[in-house]
């Protein structure tokens, strides 16, 4: 199992240069392994080809959502033919750098633009946590296509109470994402508010992230509702907290359906400090489809309308529900404002992690 263990978060934040170096090393190895071999689909409906650039590998959540979007969009209209091309590297940064560059990007392309990339962009620019070679303001969101709820999973012999206690007495380890990924910012800021510590152990792929938990190498796995659905049904992993203010009710365990408590709102887990407001720890997860900022407005308008049509198609919205993602729709300026507000929350979460709050 390939993995790289990182220092505790306090050490990472105290040595931002070390963190940036680790990120660059990972980005380089990923990019070199995928350059020139991006997975793509051939045109199928005869329309003008529109590439959807997916910054992550084939088979991941972002990839399957993008491919489902393209499939449904192609069924609904014939003017454009949507295909997906994977452009991996830098955990999303390689595709964003390409897309933001006026000299390399193509006006009639779309980018799967994740909130986590936006968070890391702003943190890198403001705090120097990693090198950022693009301007996220060069991307304009046509609409949301992917909304996720982060779930904290652990093993059946543990509980939220035991995890919180361990975090306060020496610290815990998590898998799922990398240091300062959106899931780390969300869960890590909550642990910081609880007076605890969490460090991140990055693994190659979701299967290894879960195996790290079942093998006892980490204390929790932070992932989407889809990520551990099978393990929850089998009883090998248990969901102990939803990083949301709405309880999640989609899981079925060997003992029947369960409701996962939240970090805020009426269903806030009683194990959490009642005096703390953890709403600031709820960071949007998922992403949007974006165009280049300089794209013709008529094309933008067309893409917005197609995205609305895709969401209204049961083949898409019911499929989204079936993989335990959320239906959440914002378009154009409203989606852009939403991203900006989310990035402000991410900066506050970072300040919690680094003791600057």
Question: Are 148 and 61 within 8 A, CB to CB?
Answer: yes
Residues 171-218 pLDDT 10s? 999 998 888 999 999 999 999 999 999 999 988 778 899 999 999 999
The token pair at 151 is 């779930």
**235: CB partners within 8 A, 6+ apart:** 156, 253, 254
Residues 33-90 pLDDT 10s? 333 334 445 557 888 999 999 998 888 889 999 999 999 999 999 999 999 999 998 8
Residues 276-297 pLDDT 10s? 999 999 999 999 999 998 899 9
| pTM for this entry | 0.83
Cβ atoms within 10 Å, residue 327:
12
Cα–Cα distance, 277 to 189 (Å, whole number): 12
Tell me: pLDDT of 4 over 60: no
Q: How far apart are the first and last CA of the chain?
A: 37
Closest alpha carbon to 8 in 273, 150, 191: 191
Residues 240-251 pLDDT 10s? 999 999 888 889
**236: CB partners within 8 A, 6+ apart:** 155, 156, 214
- Average pLDDT of the chain is 87
């Amino acid at each position: 199992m390939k993995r790289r263990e990182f220092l505790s978060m306090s050490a990472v934040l105290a040595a931002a240069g070390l963190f940036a170096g680790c990120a660059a090393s990972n980005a380089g190895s990923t990019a070199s392994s995928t350059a020139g071999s991006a997975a793509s689909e051939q045109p199928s409906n005869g329309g003008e080809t529109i590439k959807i650039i997916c910054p992550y590998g084939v088979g991941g959540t972002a990839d399957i959502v993008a491919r489902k979007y393209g499939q449904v969009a192609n069924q609904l209209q014939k003017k454009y033919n949507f295909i997906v091309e994977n452009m991996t590297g830098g955990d999303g940064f390689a595709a964003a750098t390409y897309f933001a560059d006026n000299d390399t990007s193509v006006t009639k392309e779309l980018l799967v633009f994740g909130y986590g990339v936006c968070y890391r962009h702003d943190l890198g620019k403001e705090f120097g946590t990693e090198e950022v070679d693009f301007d996220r303001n060069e991307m304009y969101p046509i609409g949301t296509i992917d909304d996720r709820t982060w779930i904290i999973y652990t093993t059946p012999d543990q509980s939220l109470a035991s995890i919180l206690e361990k975090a306060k007495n020496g610290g815990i380890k998590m898998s799922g994402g990398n240091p300062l990924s959106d899931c780390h910012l969300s869960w890590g800021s909550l642990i910081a508010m609880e007076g605890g510590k969490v460090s991140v152990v990055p693994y190659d792929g979701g299967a290894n992230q879960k195996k790290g938990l079942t093998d006892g190498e980490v204390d929790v796995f932070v992932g989407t509702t889809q990520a551990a659905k099978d393990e929850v049904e089998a009883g090998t992993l248990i969901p102990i907290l939803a990083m949301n203010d709405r309880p999640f009710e989609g899981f079925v365990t060997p003992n029947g359906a369960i409701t996962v408590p939240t970090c805020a709102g009426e269903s806030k887990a009683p194990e959490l400090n009642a005096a703390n407001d953890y709403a600031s720890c709820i960071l949007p997860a998922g992403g949007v489809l974006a165009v280049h900022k300089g794209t013709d407005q008529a094309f933008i308008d067309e893409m917005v309308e197609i995205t609305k049509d895709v969401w209204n198609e049961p083949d898409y919205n019911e499929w989204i529900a079936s993989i335990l993602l959320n239906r959440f729709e914002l378009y154009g300026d409203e989606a852009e404002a939403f991203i900006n507000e989310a990035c402000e929350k991410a900066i506050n979460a970072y300040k919690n992690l680094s003791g600057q709050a």
